[in-house]
A and B are shown apart, each in its own frame.
Chain A
Amino acid sequence: MSFAVTNLSAGYGDTRILWDVSLEVGDGEIVALIGSNGAGKSTLLGAISGLVDLWSGSVRFGERELAGLPPDQIVSAGVVQVPQGRRLFGSLTVRENLLMGAYLRTDSEVEADLEHVLGLLPRLRERYGYLAGRLSGGEQQMVAIARGLMARPKILLIDEMSLGLAPLLVDQLLEIMQQIHATGVAICMVEQDVQTALEFAQRAYVLETGRITLSGPAHALLDDPSVKKAYLGV
């Protein structure tokens, strides 16, 4: 199922943050959304997830219009966000955090999915009974991703996965993302680390002060002079 945001505008109070943003994530695609601080990346994800009120525009997933739906229905439709800064439930165990990801689910395959997720992230099996708040930053990010997976996403929106993590850890996490992608989950990653994002994604969009200014195949953007100048410092 393809996911399409069309002419989306949103903001807080009187302040408009997003101006007619359009973006598409194909079935099983990896798309990067890059941009500097304050460009509106997180607001866009929030608007898609129903956390930020839309002013106008549409968010379609397959045949379904998601704009205006409450967050729980958007999650149930398979559009799941891994929020910025991990945002774990610190005094719950890793297991409990993962189960919270499946909060809206009523099917009987939650335990099986738990096994599947632990297979992808074996480190979490070792930390299974630990309080999430006591894990290292990298482990916490793994819990956040795993918790998102427990909601059975068809498309996973990941906000600043690499934030504050060592390069080696980021590589590990990208490998895991690759495996998640291989199971048929489309991925939209929001990144400040432009180099990493463009090397990983198939296509990319550049968001600047609330507008999409550039889009195309990720490797092409990597060679784009304006991207090089603005984000890669070369």
Chain B
Amino acid sequence: MKAGAAVGRRAGITGKRWVFISTLAIMGLLLFVPSFHNDYINLTFRNILMYAAMSYGWNLIGGYTGYVSFGNVAFFGIGAYCSAVLSKTGIDNVFADVGLALVMCALFAIVVGLPILRLRGHYFGIATLGVALGLTDLANNLDFVGGSGGLNLKQADQAHFYLYYYAMWAVTLVCMLATFFIARSKLGYAFVAIRENEEAAQVLGISPTRYKVIAWALGGMMGGAAGAVFAPANGFVDPGTAFAVDNNVFPIAMAILGGMGTASGPFIGALLLSGVNEILQEKFLWLHSLFFGAIIVLIVVFLPRGLMYLVGLRGGVRRWLSDLRAFRV
């Protein structure tokens, strides 16, 4: 009873302050990655940051609002193609890239979101799958963006290689801070209210469709910004890289591992899962996807609420097991 009461008293959605401060501190350390002057380390951590930003984007709609999207890679792809098209017209500026991606992703989210976010629950998830697949097909067949052959961007020299690292770092930091502040704002409470009980939110005058579209658009802008920095850093965009299955699945798995609906979860999840993936790739070149998949399954089964849940857990293994049972309906 005592232990249960302690858990019950835990703050609703704001989480623990020291956890977020630690997350920011780790983020600060990542600013020194380029000083290793090692391209492999630089690339690895830029990818971690990229996945973290995408994971934050997914987290707003999937974690906070409770609408699981399987199509958020669409925004990453749109962002990447925005940069590629800009580069084709002679504009190679990371601010222009990110700016265009933000606008396009917000527009796309609103136009596509208004019809599909009227759907409740699982139907939205299924519709988002179609959105991602449809965009891949579209990119494959649009000559304007290079079709299946893709587009080459201006190749990044060494200085730009570092610039894109810092750009990705900045994008991720903004995503992290934006999530932190949104979660504590009225906007964030509207998202969580929809997740917790959509009918109740509606009765209180919160328009579910409006706030779902806002969550999806804000999250989409995060994914789009990551794509906009990725494309020039990578120097090449085609449908396979822009709408890669990994870019769809990893951010979701990372948010789940770290903790859905938390401001630290996506980053911690991206750090850990990417680390594990790197190690697996090194040890088991051929089967690493199998092990990686198994790890994702284990996370969902044993840590459905992620590591941030463990941080707040009072009552030890017994509590953990009883909460786990509550997830098995």
Q: Which residues of B contact A89 (CB under 8 A)?
A: 192-193, 196-197, 200
Closest to B197 in A: A87
Q: Which residues of B contact A210 (CB under 8 A)?
A: none
Q: 1/0 per position for A131-145, CB-CB distance to B under 8 A?
A: 100100000000000
Closest to B208 in A: A71
Determine whether A76 belongs to the interface, using a CB cutoff of 8 Å to chain B. Answer: yes
Q: Which one of B4, B193, B202 contacts A71 once the chains associate, using CB atoms below 8 Å?
A: B202
Q: Which one of B201, B205, B206 contacts A76 once the chains associate, using CB atoms below 8 Å?
A: B205
Query: In the complex, which residues 44-58 of chain A have their Cβ closer than 8 Å to any Cβ of chain B?
Result: 49, 51
Q: Is the CB of B197 within 8 A of A96?
A: no
Q: Which residues of B contact A190 (CB under 8 A)?
A: none
Q: Which one of B8, B189, B200 contacts A130 once the chains associate, using CB atoms below 8 Å?
A: B8
Closest to B204 in A: A103
Query: In the complex, which residues 92-106 of chain A have their Cβ closer than 8 Å to any Cβ of chain B?
Result: 92-93, 96, 99-101, 103-104
Q: Which residues of B contact A96 (CB under 8 A)?
A: 12-13, 189
Most B CB contacts (10 A, CB to CB) among A74, A96, A100, A134 go to A100
Determine whether A216 belongs to the interface, using a CB cutoff of 8 Å to chain B. Answer: no
Q: Which one of A70, A75, A90, A129 contacts B204 once the chains associate, using CB atoms below 8 Å?
A: A75
Q: Is the CB of B200 within 8 A of A87?
A: yes
Q: Which residues of A contact B9 (CB under 8 A)?
A: 129-130
Determine whether A72 belongs to the interface, using a CB cutoff of 8 Å to chain B. Answer: yes
Q: Is the CB of B202 within 8 A of A93?
A: no
Q: Is the CB of A88 within 8 A of B203?
A: no
Q: Is the CB of A100 within 8 A of B11?
A: no
Q: Which one of B8, B197, B206 contacts A131 once the chains associate, using CB atoms below 8 Å?
A: B8
**Total B residues in contact with A, Cβ cutoff 8 Å:** 25
**Total A residues in contact with B, Cβ cutoff 8 Å:** 30
Q: Is the CB of A92 within 8 A of B12?
A: yes
Q: 1/0 per position for A71-82, CB-CB distance to B under 8 A?
A: 111111000010
Q: Is the CB of A91 within 8 A of B12?
A: yes
Q: Which residues of A contact B8 (CB under 8 A)?
A: 130-131, 134
Q: 1/0 per position for B202-220, CB-CB distance to A under 8 A?
A: 1111110000000000000
Determine whether B325 belongs to the interface, using a CB cutoff of 8 Å to chain A. Answer: no
Closest to B199 in A: A87
Q: List 20 A-B contacts (CB under 8 A).
A: A51-B202, A71-B202, A71-B205, A71-B207, A75-B204, A81-B203, A83-B200, A89-B193, A89-B196, A89-B197, A90-B197, A91-B12, A92-B189, A92-B192, A93-B12, A96-B13, A103-B186, A103-B189, A131-B10, A134-B4
Q: With A103-B206, A104-B204 given, can you name 13 additional A-B contacts, CB distance below 8 Å? A: A72-B206, A72-B207, A73-B205, A76-B205, A81-B203, A87-B200, A88-B197, A91-B196, A92-B12, A92-B13, A93-B11, A93-B12, A129-B11
The interface of chain A, by Cβ under 8 A from chain B, is 49, 51, 70-76, 81, 83, 87-93, 96, 99-101, 103-104, 129-131, 134, 147, 151
**Ranked 7 nearest A-B pairs via Cβ:** A72-B205, A89-B196, A87-B200, A75-B205, A92-B12, A130-B8, A134-B8
